[in-house]
Amino acid sequence: MVTSEWKGEFERDGFTICRGFFSPEETAGLLSKLREAQTLARQSRLDRSGLSFKHNLYQVSPALRDFVSQEKVVHLLREIIGPDFWIRWDQTVEKTPGGDEFPWHQDNGYNGLKDGHFQLWVSLSDMTPENGGLWLQRGSHRLGVRPHHVVGNHLVCPGDPETAVFVPASPGDVVVFSSFMLHRTAPNVTEKGRLAYVVEYMSLDHFDPFIEPPYFVVARGGEPRPSFVRFYRGRLNPANQLKYLVPRAKRAVQKFRQFAGSILHGRRRTPAAG
């Protein structure tokens, strides 16, 4: 399945499409596993009318851990990530009729990471321009992290309509794309919902300082080696720790201000004794 043309396409465009990567039986099984895990997931801060996210599902589901670390997934991804990688995040993205647009952005704009990672985007329903399917901006990954600005609850980095590509997809199709890729989903103006499952894989050479251990390692030496670990070489690398000193400090200050604000707000709402 993996060819030099596939790798060249990914390097040039920042994404590639694998039609029918999962069989109808595999897709139905994945959907069942996801629905079970979703009942244990927390509500996301990105949720809004008609658009919902359930994340870190693999952490509560052994069946999902088996799915996301299976051999054919590892063999596909090792060609672009390298032989050793872990999962930093996963989530379902569900858009019901009337669901909102998710504007142009890079995933690095939201997670604050300096290094790239790789999205395995699995279609679990038919994806069309009308029901809020996936749009990508071809080649946008080559410019690295771009500045984003706040629009409502979103971080937005404008896309270029001339290089925007819509990705039609059927259940079982997979899109692999770079986290530096600009992408968006349109509003759902149909009477049916649409659902995708996204798994984010990262090289063991790279570090996410905002994810707490244990970390789920998927592959070593280009083969499935699923296990939870508290340390790996990317976390232990002093250079990785150094480049996130300022972002971690800023995030700590932000959390403290939010905490202090919630305490102050709670005191203001508490009736006086009397």
Share of the chain above pLDDT 90, in %: 69
* Cα separation, 78 vs 76, whole angstroms: 6
Q: What is the pLDDT of residue 3?
A: 57
Query: What is the average pLDDT score of the chain?
Result: 90
With cut-offs at 50, 70 and 90, classify the pLDDT of residue 267.
low
Give the pLDDT score at 44. Answer: 76
What pLDDT band is residue 272 in, cutting at 50, 70 and 90? very low
pLDDT value at residue 2: 53
71 versus 262: which is more confidently predicted? 71
> Which pLDDT score, from 0 to 100, does residue 270 have?
46
pLDDT in tens, 225-241: 999 999 999 999 999 99
41 in Cβ contact with 56 (< 8 Å): yes
Greatest alpha-carbon span in the chain: 77
Q: What is the pLDDT of residue 5?
A: 74
Written as one string, the DSSP assignment of 53-80 is EEE-GGGT-HHHHHHHT-HHHHHHHHHH
Other Cβ atoms within 10 Å of 210 Cβ, number: 13
Please report, to the nearest 10 degrees, the dihedral formed by the alpha carbons of residues 27, 55, 42, 236 taken in order: 140
Q: Is the pLDDT of residue 274 over 60?
A: no
What domains, with CATH codes, occur in the chain? 4-233 (2.60.120.620)
Give Cβ neighbours of residue 17 (< 8 Å, ≥ 6 apart).
167, 169, 173, 174, 175
Angle between helices 4-13 and 71-81 (to 10 degrees): 60
